[in-house]
Amino acid sequence: MDGEHLRARTRERHERVDAVLDGFFSLAKRRAESVGSRYVDLWSVLERNSAGGKRFRPRMVFTAYDALGGDDDDAVAGVGAAFELLHTALIVHDDVIDRDFSRRGIPNVSGSYRDTATTAGLSTPAAEHRGMSAAVIAGDLALTGASRLLMQVRCGGGVQARLLDILDEAIFVSAGGEMVDVELSLSPEVPTVDEILDMERAKTAVYSFEAPLQAGAVLAGAPEAVVQAVGEFGREVGVAYQVVDDLLGVFGTEESTGKTTLGDLREGKRTVLIAHAATTDEWFAIQPFIGKADLSVDEAAHVRARLESCGARSFAESLVEQHARRALDVLDGPEVTDTLRAALSPLVATVLERVR
């Protein structure tokens, strides 16, 4: 399939996912009318927050499904939509945990409800409480909605049960990763690199790469050995992707990432950069600026320079290469067909390109 046909196919796939989600939210809003207009409003805000985006998790489902010979467009769109709604749920809850009221410069669920409360004259604490409360409820609805979408996919009973198990495991592990992230952020001790990598794998790599790839394989009727292989591939490439995010959060540009490169440093985010730097002699010159809420541009430049001179940047880049290589090694296994290998290999190249 040439580039133009592939882009057209991707657009068509995304449109199918959007159609599934549109149907899901339309039905939910009709059901919500019996509860009242305020509940309908919550569903409308949640729908807006799920719109757009790169539809990355559905793309993982499609990639494995197509490469393994799947041909049911409606079924794979339903599975892709379920993982997209799971993504919505997790980022809505993640924003609550981080006490963020916007995402990429636009009010999120909590921000939308906070702003309307502020406009109505509520105090800031009361308005923020309203926003956070609405976001918790909205995230819960998206979470249960993901399972509901999977249960509506037309496939064999054994396949559907397996898909639900994969989704459940993704939620279970992601919740654990989020909890570990909270604990690490509050600990006065800097975690080890291995602790950071384990957290990033659990919090994000599982539901973004590992689980959707496995779901696509299961839906296509792949043997269990193949399902396990694509899961292992997703685990490695997902960790590499998260380490790249750590690098871009400090060394990237706002134009390319859509967010400030001061945020991670001001937040004191525990990343592999910080974990490695803490083991070097230059940590004393870096530590005072990590978590400094009013970190200036010049101070951030100082931290970046120290992270480079202590080897933290090159260490993180080597981790990306290491996990990317492990992902490619999985694809060399006997259970991976040439078609599947050709479909998954570009994911590794995409991850590596982001850090170059």
Task: Provide the residue type at 290 as one letter.
Answer: I
What SS3 string covers 225-291? Answer: HHHHHHHHHHHHHHHHHHHHHHHHHHHCCHHHHCCCCCHHHHHCCCCHHHHHHCCCCCHHHHHHHCC
Q: Taking a C-beta distance cutoff of 8 angstroms, is the pair 38, 133 a contact?
A: no
User: Residue 209 contacts by C-beta under 8 Å, 6 or more apart in sequence?
Assistant: 60, 234, 235, 237, 238, 241
Q: Taking a C-beta distance cutoff of 8 angstroms, is the pair 40, 33 a contact?
A: yes
User: Residue 257 has what pLDDT?
Assistant: 60
User: Residue 146 has what pLDDT?
Assistant: 97
**290-307: average pLDDT:** 94
- What is the average pLDDT value for the chain, to the nearest integer? 93
User: Residue 115 has what pLDDT?
Assistant: 94
User: Residue 61 has what pLDDT?
Assistant: 97
**224 pLDDT exceeds 80?**
yes
The predicted-structure confidence for 139-157, as pLDDT tens digits, reads as follows: 999 999 999 999 999 988 7
**31 pLDDT exceeds 90?**
yes
* E strand or H helix at 150: helix 124-151
What are 112-121's contacts with CB under 8 Å, separation 24+?
Answer: 112/45, 113/45
User: Residue 5 has what pLDDT?
Assistant: 74
Least confident of 66-70, 149-153, 260-264: 260-264
List residues bridging with 106 in a β-sheet. 103
Nearest residue to 87 (alpha-carbon basis) of 25, 163, 167: 167
Work out the pLDDT band at 256, boundaries 50, 70, 90: low
Q: Provide the angle, in degrees to the nearest 10, between the axes of the packed helices 73-97 and 124-151.
A: 160
**267-290: average pLDDT:** 94
User: Using CA atoms, how far apart are residues 288 and 290, in angstroms rounded to an integer?
Assistant: 6
Work out the pLDDT band at 252, boundaries 50, 70, 90: confident
User: Using CA atoms, how far apart are residues 154 and 74, in angstroms rounded to an integer?
Assistant: 8
User: Residue 2 has what pLDDT?
Assistant: 58
**116-138: average pLDDT:** 96
User: Using CA atoms, how far apart are residues 345 and 113, in angstroms rounded to an integer?
Assistant: 43
Q: Which CATH number fits domain 1-222: 3.20.20.80, 3.40.430.10, 3.30.450.20, 1.10.600.10?
A: 1.10.600.10
Token pair in block for residue 338: 């040439």
User: pTM surpassing 0.85?
Assistant: yes
User: Residue 9 has what pLDDT?
Assistant: 78
Q: How far is CA 74 from the centre of its chain?
A: 24
The predicted-structure confidence for 305-347, as pLDDT tens digits, reads as follows: 999 999 999 999 999 999 999 999 999 999 999 999 999 999 9
* E strand or H helix at 295: none
DSSP codes of every residue in 13-37: HHHHHHHHHHHHHHHHHHHHTTT-H
Token pair in block for residue 182: 């909270």
DSSP codes of every residue in 300-319: HHHHHHHHHHTTHHHHHHHH
% the chain with pLDDT above 90: 83
Q: Rounded to a whole number, what is the distance in angstroms from the first to the last CA of the chain?
A: 27
Q: Taking a C-beta distance cutoff of 8 angstroms, is the pair 112, 87 a contact?
A: no
**42-64: average pLDDT:** 93
| Bigger pLDDT: 255 vs 99 | 99
Q: Taking a C-beta distance cutoff of 8 angstroms, is the pair 50, 26 a contact?
A: no
User: Residue 187 has what pLDDT?
Assistant: 87
User: Residue 7 has what pLDDT?
Assistant: 76
Q: Taking a C-beta distance cutoff of 8 angstroms, is the pair 202, 50 a contact?
A: no
* Domain ranges across the chain: 1-222, 224-355
Domains 1-222 and 224-355 share a fold: yes
Superfamily per CATH, domain 224-355: Farnesyl Diphosphate Synthase (1.10.600.10)
